[in-house]
Amino acid sequence: MRATLWIIVAALVLLFVILFRAGVQPVRVVIINQSGHDAHEVVVSSVAIGALANGESRVVSATSGEPLVITFREQKRRWQSAEPLAPAGGYVFAITPGDRIAQQSRRMRDRQ
């Protein structure tokens, strides 16, 4: 009886650890510059990327559970997601002509 109780307690502890770790997994964000000109001082959720030449892309990790914020052109252009990012997700965004930010596709894991 006592051994069964220990197994149940250990299983519950393991379940809580797995759920906690899944909720704090970082998010992969791909930024593609399709604007036709260089984008300077690109920052994705406090991760400084620097300059992106036209056609160049970068992949960064961002914190899950928070809205994504993309800024460029010395903070003159700013975009923020409406909802927090899902843990362990992957997102693709493009800087398009007119200095707009467009989400290119659904989350990468939805495509598998």
Tell me the per-residue pLDDT of 88-112, one tens digit each, with 9 for 90 and over: 778 899 999 988 888 876 544 444 4
Percent of the chain whose predicted confidence (pLDDT) is above 90 = 22
Split at pLDDT 50, 70, 90, the class of 59 is: very high
Q: How far is CA 45 from CA 52, 63, 98, 102, in A?
A: 16, 8, 21, 16
Global pTM reads 0.69
Beta-bridge partners for 26:
none
Cβ contact 45:27 at 8 Å: no
Give the pLDDT of residue 106.
55
Domain 26-111, CATH number (from 3.30.70.360, 1.10.10.10, 2.60.40.2890, 1.50.10.20): 2.60.40.2890
Average pLDDT over all residues of the chain? 83
The structure tokens 């909802």 sit at 83
